[in-house]
Structure 1
């Protein structure tokens, strides 16, 4: 494949592939919210309106990069749209919700930002293979986590919350915990893969991720990390089993997951009270009770995309008064979808998830050498994280961008693997066939 290059005034040439790699890495770094929010925040970690305005500025270069890359790869972009129509359907929902939103201006502004973020997901999906994306995150998140450890040694006061918990280069300990969780998964995947030749670096970054995870004290991240290692075992076992064995394994793990969720719902709060721990999950339990009442009030269409959690909404301000703190979201991604779009939005979202989980499992079972294991684990891990946090359909958020990119990547490659399975005499190409090529 011919590699196009740009010639600078001084003579050196820069390939478009280098621009794609550096641009994607920088874009993920900026959307992760490292360094800059910490610098602009006050001593308590809060951001003023002027600081929030400044934080919007780095998003514009990301948007420009995204548009340029999609224009240059427009046929692949169209193919990605055609192979998963549910994703663009969900992308349209925030704009449609402005018709019934209680704050149409806010919904429209945030819908535009979400559009560009999901377009970046398409860039990652069509221009990077699973192993290339793994290396990109290994470098990007690895730098953030390693520098978090360094900052905790060089400047403990800046790298710590007022309560002493570690936050590293991020604005909050929970954010550090989320990305430490992702780093542990990525480093583990690099160690298991073995083809990147970065085992020593992976061991170092894995240790750094464990330090950051434990020092942050984020229970969401700790639970998600535990789930990730269970999922690694599940998908590895699934790939090695026969057809009938896979059915048995899936049924067993589905029943196990349902049993765990029911047990948590019934016994978690009494268990926490017996242990003398915070039975409200840092205020989440009373928050969810109030949120559920608001969801039932407008269960069909919701309040409009991210229109509920605004100062101008009397229901939200009344909820904040009853709680004694201003919740920025429902601390549950599924509830936030219902608040924004109601059941009409939740149905296609669930269908998209089920379709993606099935496609990811098929790719892992029939094309494991391509590196699908970690993407399957990432998908379920983010679903687990959304039980107590809110990442779904959030604009300018690296975690949701990666989540959407994974779903798009599954839908791009799954038909290729299906064709190769139906034609055993034809070896599948290393990239995507049917018009999609990744250099």
Structure 2
């Protein structure tokens, strides 16, 4: 009976992680909706499933209330940020949306707390392996057996999207998948060929999705993984190596700034990142109208009926977020929210990098890798404080899973 309950709990965890990755549900319920199509479908099932997740998660946390309280005490910055999102209903330009989004933010954040309270870093990595393994297999099945669902039409005709609504969704999740299988490949002693196979299939799906930004993100994270491994070397080797890598990175950055147009043109893209750079000045213009507290959590992007109407008319298309997580947070919660996030993020980075130095396994690099992913991914996408998403849930789980590092050890890195 105990083994059955353990299996059920792990199956629940994997299923929730799959749902928070954005897989299957919206794609199937919308009937395989393509980009720029307006399809009305009943989303009540999604709301019921989310409510079920929140209730079960709350019960599981109560059952481990001592460990839950301990986990809550390990970070002083995440939860004030969540509470700020909730109380922003007071000044929100769209209070109804703020209330709804705040409930989902709190509910999904609790699942991140549950992951930290219930599973070790190694166990979380293994569960992520199962999650992305299922996503990879189903993506191939959907694309091959159900092409009207698994392959895009319209302007992205022929690009794979697997079990996600858009090719960029598949690309972003395959970045996560690739890193998870890379870490598992180094971690596993038995069946490591399965992990390297998962990495290979994740890269193949990236190529079939033709998501350039995701390919760049994966390359950055693989590079970061090997940099983090150097943290464990003796100082006499580590410091010169890292100085060399930093010099190389700076040289590449200078080269890229001078040759951006040529590089993007060679891969069929433009240096404005598909219109994102044209969008940002107008977003900044609106930010400076409400710089301190923002428009309320979820209160800005309300179409032509809200403050986003100005941005839509100015850019000539209809974005639903600013394609930059830091700008999105500034719009929602102002400079106060942005500062709260950066303080907590910086503290988490210090702990994560110190833990890499103090530990030995590949799983212990996962928090540092995910924090790096958040920093790079949110340069072109908006997923800093996005509820019901695997990026936010893992941010909470991994940050709270880090051991409390003694200050004398922290100084080794900072």
Give the counterpart of 1:139 among 130, 133, 139: 130
TM-score by length of 2: 0.89
Instruction: Report 1:200-211 matches (<5 A).
Output: 200-211=193-204
> 2:75 matched to which residue of 1?
84
TM-score by length of 1: 0.85
> 1:353 matched to which residue of 2?
345
CA distance in 2, matches of 1:256, 1:294: 37
> 2:234 matched to which residue of 1?
241
What secondary structure is seen at the aligned counterpart in 1 of 2:269?
Answer: coil
Unpaired runs of 5+ residues, structure 1, are 7-12, 423-439
Give the counterpart of 1:324 among 297, 303, 316: 316
> 1:97 matched to which residue of 2?
88
* Per-residue CA distance 1:48-75 (angstroms, 9 max, x = gap): 4544444322212211221011101111
CA distance in 1, matches of 2:365, 2:148: 38
CA distance in 1, matches of 2:21, 2:198: 17
Give the counterpart of 1:283 among 275, 289, 301: 275
Give the counterpart of 2:186 among 171, 189, 192: 192
Inter-CA distance 261–67: structure 2 relative to 1 (3 Å threshold):
farther
CA distance in 1, matches of 2:49, 2:139: 21
Inter-CA distance 152–82: structure 2 relative to 1 (3 Å threshold):
same
Q: How many residues align?
A: 405
CA RMSD of aligned residues (A): 2.6
Q: CA deviation at 1:140?
A: 1.0
What secondary structure is seen at the aligned counterpart in 2 of 1:395?
Answer: coil
What secondary structure is seen at the aligned counterpart in 1 of 2:361?
Answer: helix
> 2:10 matched to which residue of 1?
21
* Per-residue CA distance 1:92-149 (angstroms, 9 max, x = gap): 1101211111111211110110001111000111111111111101111111112212
Q: CA deviation at 1:267?
A: 5.3
CA distance in 1, matches of 2:271, 2:277: 8
Instruction: Report 1:143-162 matches (<5 A).
Output: 143-162=134-153
Inter-CA distance 170–192: structure 2 relative to 1 (3 Å threshold):
same
> 1:368 matched to which residue of 2?
360
What secondary structure is seen at the aligned counterpart in 2 of 1:369?
Answer: coil
Inter-CA distance 294–268: structure 2 relative to 1 (3 Å threshold):
farther
Q: CA deviation at 1:166?
A: 0.5
Q: CA deviation at 1:26?
A: 1.1
Asked whether the 8 Å contact 2:374–2:384 carries over to 1, the reply is no
* Per-residue CA distance 1:177-206 (angstroms, 9 max, x = gap): 1111111111111111124x2312212212
Asked whether the 8 Å contact 1:220–1:389 carries over to 2, the reply is no
CA distance in 2, matches of 1:239, 1:311: 50
> 2:286 matched to which residue of 1?
294
Runs of 4+ deviating beyond 4 Å? 45-49, 244-267, 273-276, 419-422
CA distance in 1, matches of 2:285, 2:148: 41
> 2:34 matched to which residue of 1?
44
Unpaired runs of 5+ residues, structure 2, are none
Asked whether the 8 Å contact 2:186–2:362 carries over to 1, the reply is no
